[in-house]
Amino acid sequence: MQILIAEDEPRIAAFIEKGLRANGFATEIATTASDVLSRVMGSEFDLLILDLGLPEKDGLEVLEELRGQGCQIPIVILTARDDIQAKVAGLEGGADDYMTKPFRFEELLARVRLRLRTQSITAAQEDLILSVGDVVLDLRTRKATVGNKTIELPAREFTLAEMFFRHPGQVLSRQQLLDRVWGYDYDPGSNVVDVYIGYLRRKLGSKLFETVRGMGYRLKS
């Protein structure tokens, strides 16, 4: 999980960074409003901790710009401003949470974790339908469709297909697939993955799964 800390006071930024890293998060620090905007729009952060008193622009304006551009990143405001107007403006402006300084790190961590969890539940609900081209996997019904034709897949084939559809364009090795799809339930050195890829090619499309020599397979994206 990647967290951007927007904070112009080095001591506070370092304090938050140290705590988050100790809890397994990757972090970056942005110290100005424009730095925050370009970094959030330019890369994949899972959450933004936003100070309101930033150089160049007020944090509330940064928030407005991000939400105005359709940016959905969870945002926790962390600020010395404890007036109710700022809090209301922050929450109405699309922040997910609001915390005032001075603060205890444990509380910030709890709020960060809560926001990330809410986010992943929403993402999981959106991910119930996976598709590449005209092939669709419906995770609720565990059925596949190609164009308008429904294809019944046995459980193991469906799970294997799901692995690929969750990582389109990514090479998955035989070992990864054995571990994730078969668990302990396989013969080491068996060619079961290749056999099952064969089944999926026949049912979902012969060109869908690319063989990457010496590495594994990749779903064309």
DSSP element (H, E) containing 105: helix 105-126
Taking the least distance from each CB to Ca ion, the nearer of 7 and 157 is 7
Residue pair 210/220 in contact by the 8 Å Cβ criterion: yes
Q: Least distance in Å: CB of 83 to Ca ion?
A: 15
Q: Least distance in Å: CB of 79 to Ca ion?
A: 8
Part in contact with Ca ion (CB under 5 A); list of ranges 4-12, 146-154, 157-165, 204-212:
4-12
Residues of this chain, 83-142, that bind Ca ion according to CB under 5 A: none
Taking the least distance from each CB to Ca ion, the nearer of 80 and 130 is 80
Q: Least distance in Å: CB of 54 to Ca ion?
A: 6
Taking the least distance from each CB to Ca ion, the nearer of 30 and 172 is 30
Residue pair 195/210 in contact by the 8 Å Cβ criterion: no
Residue pair 184/192 in contact by the 8 Å Cβ criterion: no
Sheet holding 135-138, edge to edge: 129-132, 135-138, 143-146, 149-151
Taking the least distance from each CB to Ca ion, the nearer of 27 and 193 is 27
Site string for Ca ion, 51-70 (x = CB under 5 A): x-x-----------------
Distance, CA of 50 to CA of 99 (rounded, Å) = 10
Distance, CA of 70 to CA of 86 (rounded, Å) = 22
Taking the least distance from each CB to Ca ion, the nearer of 105 and 186 is 105
Interaction between residue 8 and Ca ion (CB under 5 A)? yes
Taking the least distance from each CB to Ca ion, the nearer of 93 and 216 is 93
Looking at beta carbons, which residue is closest to Ca ion?
Answer: 53
For the packed helices 192-204 and 155-166, what is the interaxial angle rounded to 10 degrees? 80
Cα Rg of the chain (Å, integer): 23
- Give how many residues touch Ca ion by CB under 5 A: 3
Part in contact with Ca ion (CB under 5 A); list of ranges 29-37, 50-58, 60-68, 173-181:
50-58
Q: How far is CA 133 from the centre of its chain?
A: 22
Query: Which residues bind to Ca ion, rule: CB under 5 A?
Result: 8, 51, 53
